[in-house]
Amino acid sequence: MAERKENERVEQRRDLLAWFDLQQRDLPWRRSRDPYRVWVSEIMLQQTRVETARPYFERFIRAFPSVEDLASAEVEAVLSQWSGLGYYQRARRLHAAARQIVAGSARFPASVEEWLQLPGVGPYTAAAIASIVLGVPEPAIDGNVMRVVGRLLALEEDPRKTSGHRAIQSEARHLLDLQRPGDSNQALMEIGATICLPRRPRCSLCPLEPGCGAAAAGDPELYPVAGRRPPVSRHFRQVAVVESRGRVLLFRRPGNSPRMAGLWEFPWMDGRARGKLESALGQRYGGRWKIGSTRGRVRHSVTNRSFQIEVFEASSSFESEVAEGPEAGWFSSSDLTGLPVTGLVGKVLKLLED
C-alpha cells in the first residue's frame, strides 16, 4: 500500500511539473531567481491578485531596481510607488527589511529561518522565497495551495485548524520535487489561481485530477470543509472635496495611525448625519467648513469592511494657509502621480471626472 501511494506521488510530482512547464503564466518576477525580485513579488502578492500586482511590481522595480536603492529611499517615496495597492504596512515592512538587509552587508537570507527574521515575512512567504531562490524543499501553504491540496485529499475538516493544516502541509511536502521545489510550489499556486477555483473548478484541465479525492466524490466545491468566515461589516462614510484652481485639498494621516499611516486622503467622517458634517470636519481638521451638493457615491472595501462613500462638494477656510501645514496641502492631478495616497482617492477623483 505504501509503495503504491509513493508511486502515485511520483507520478503526481512529474505531472505537476510537466503541466507547469507548459502552462505557467509569463510573470515578470518569474523571469529570474533574483532574491530581490522574488521577495518583492511575494510581499506584493500577499492579499493581492496577480493581475493587480503585476503593474505595481514593474513600476516598483523601475523605481528601486536593487535592495540598496530601496533601502536608501525615503519611506514616503516607497509608499508613493505602492499607492493604490493597499495594505500599506507591507510597504513599510518591506522598506524596513531592505534596510536590515543592507545593514548586514547586503547579504540576502540563506535559509527559511533567516527569511523569517525580516519584517513582513511569515512562514508562507519565507518558504516560497527559499524554495524558489535557494531550492529549499519547504512547502509554501497559501490559500490557493490549501484549496488544491485540501481537494486532493478530500479533506473533511477546516484546513486552518491545526490537524487540517498539518494534513495539508504533509501532503504538500510529498508533492515537492526535490530538484525543483520552487517550481512545485509555484505549480500548486498556479493551479489554485487558474484551475482549482473556489467556484466551478476546471477539473478536466488539472494535472492532479486522476488522483483527486474531491473530483472523485463528484462535487469538488465541498472540499476542503472551511470554517465560517467573519461577516462583512458595512459602513457609511462622507467625503468632502474642496477644489481650488484645479487642485484638491488633501490631508495626511499621522505616522502612528493604525491604518494607512502617512498616506494622503480626502477629509472624511463616518456616519450619515449631513447636518453635523461641517462641525465634525472642523473638529477633526480645523478651520471652517461648508458642505455643498452631493457629487455621487462610490463603494470601497478593505478586508472584511465594506464602505459606501457619499461624496460632497465643500469649501473651507483656515486662519493660516493650509498648504503650509505639515499634514495638509493642495494638489493637482499631476502632483498626485508621485504622492502616496489611499486607494479611495483615485475612486473619488474618477467620480468627479465622470
pLDDT by residue (tens digit) across 19-36? Answer: 999 999 999 999 999 999
| Pair 47, 170 in one domain | yes
Which DSSP symbol is given to 231? P
**Does residue 211 sit in the same domain as residue 241?**
no
Digit-coded pLDDT (tens) for 236-253: 999 999 998 888 999 988
Are 99 and 25 in a shared domain?
A: yes
Assign residue 77 the CATH number of its domain: 1.10.340.30
Residue from 3, 6, 11, 42 carrying the catalytic annotation: 42
User: For residue 343, what are the domain limits?
Assistant: 233-353
Q: How confident is the model at residue 274 (pLDDT cuts 50, 70, 90)?
A: low
CA nearest to 83, candidates 298, 351, 338: 338
The answer on pLDDT for 269 being more than 50 is yes
Indicate which CATH number applies to the domain containing 342: 3.90.79.10
Q: What percent of the chain has pLDDT over 90?
A: 59
Give yes or no: residues 156 and 253 share one domain: no
pLDDT tens digits along 124-171 = 999 999 999 999 999 999 999 999 999 999 998 888 888 999 999 999
Q: Which residues pair with 309 in a beta bridge?
A: 237, 298
Question: At residue 340, does pLDDT exceed 90?
Answer: no
Backbone angles phi, psi at 289, to 5 degrees: -125, 145
Asked about 138 being catalytic, the answer comes back as no
Regarding whether 124 and 273 lie in a shared domain, the answer is no
Provide the whole-model pTM: 0.78
Query: How many domains does the chain fold into?
Result: 2
Sign of the Cα torsion 53, 56, 58, 63 reads negative
* Pair type for strands 305-317 and 233-244: parallel
How open is the CA angle 78-83-89, to the nearest 5 degrees?
Answer: 65
228, part of any domain: no
In the prediction, which pLDDT does 66 show? 96
Measured CA to CA, the distance from residue 223 to residue 147 in angstroms comes to 7
